[in-house]
Amino acid sequence: MPNLELEEDYQDLSDMVRDFADQVVAPVSAKHDEEHSFPYEVIAQMGEMGLFGLPFPEEFGGQGGDYFALALALEQLGRVDQSVAITLEAGVSLGAMPVYRFGTQEQKEEWLPQLTSAKALAGFGLTEPEAGSDAGGTKTTAVLRDGNWVINGRKEFITNSGTDITKLVTATAVTGETIGKDGKPKKEISTILVPTNTPGFTAEKAYNKVGWNASDTHPLSFSNVTVPEENLLGERGRGYANFLSILDEGRIAIAALATGAAQGCVDESVKYAKQRQAFGRNIGEYQAIQFKIARMQTRAHSARLAYYAAASKMLAGKPFKTEAAIAKLVAGEAAMDNARDATQVFGGYGFMNEFVVSRHYRDSKILEIGEGTTEVQLMLISRELGL
């Protein structure tokens, strides 16, 4: 029988991040959410704790850990503040990880120490106005001229792309044409590193979002942005394929974050049900409330098992695409369903923004959309079944 107990190092990390989330993150969450302000002081402390370097080698400023360690940290942060959690998730799995996976030694040495310490953040420039789930519809172009890439185009919904400490955006762009297996021409999509101080690069006005209000998200524009040819990240023409592999890992991270959100809704509901009185009794004594919270806990537990299973296969070097899709699907729906039920438990107070459950209600919907919609996960699972 498999042992699902966390090893001591993992448990210590989880406990440390849980304490940090409760003592440092939670007290300022409502303020940053209301003001739509980026929590620089919290992110700096997370950098000092080594959270942004968890899955990277020590030679690049990392902690020498693995992706499961990152997932555990995301779960604990996601309980109290999804904006802070997604800043870490995007900073590591979407910002630094492409550089680590596909960068040259020189690129790693230049960028990773900054990114693993959170002294700098990087954005993941994939999504475009007409290329969301269909990321192969990329229209941004990069033309090689006199030893430089000249980039033109737009990106949408890019996390960590416009903060005061954002120093890099990794962008996919069409760099030519190739012939597909069917003999027809298709886009050659490559990945290019773009420092944010490059002329012609603009992080446009931040979005006014439904949730994740303390997370930084911008549309980006590239107008004759010119960077050296050596800023190509990975092999030319492999940009789309490389980013898909990054997204597979990212789905485990998002599932962990969503599991934390689902558990946070349970924890807040239990606490409230023991305090709130109605008709002379704590509402937690009523079976209707008990059963609602029991279902919430079941969802959180199932989501945790799903992302543990996906992470286990990934760390063992086995194919994990389907397991990651299942984890993302189960956990995203658990977070959204638990947020709805927690809001119902809280009644009118659940509709007030200062309460954690109200923020989870607004924040959790994007967990069914970002890094692959629910429909994309269902498509991936169906394909694995031969359908």
* C-alpha separations of 114 from 89, 110, 159, 172 in Å: 16, 8, 17, 22
Query: Which of 26, 35, 23 minimizes the C-alpha distance to 214?
Result: 35
Using CA atoms, how far apart are residues 94 and 243, in angstroms rounded to an integer? 9
How does strand 121-125 pair with strand 166-179? Answer: parallel
Residue 156 designated active-site: no
Q: Indicate the pairing of strand 217-228 with strand 148-159.
A: antiparallel
| Composition of the chain by helix, strand, coil, percent to 5 | 55, 20, 25
The active-site residue out of 75, 371, 375, 384 is 371
Vertex 115: Cα angle to 42 and 230 (nearest 5): 155
The dihedral built from the CA positions of residue 209, 212, 213 and 218, taken in this order, carries a sign that is negative
Query: Which of 181, 307, 314, 170 lies closest to 243 in space, CA to CA?
Result: 170
Cross-strand pairs, 121: 166
CA-to-CA distance for 356 and 335, rounded, in angstroms? 13
- In 222-255, which positions are buried (b, 16+ CB within 10 angstroms) versus exposed (e)? beebbbeeebbbbebbbbbebbeebbbbbbbbbb
How many other C-beta atoms are found inside a 10 Å radius of the C-beta of residue 311? 26
d(CA 278, CA 147): 72
Return the active site residues: 371
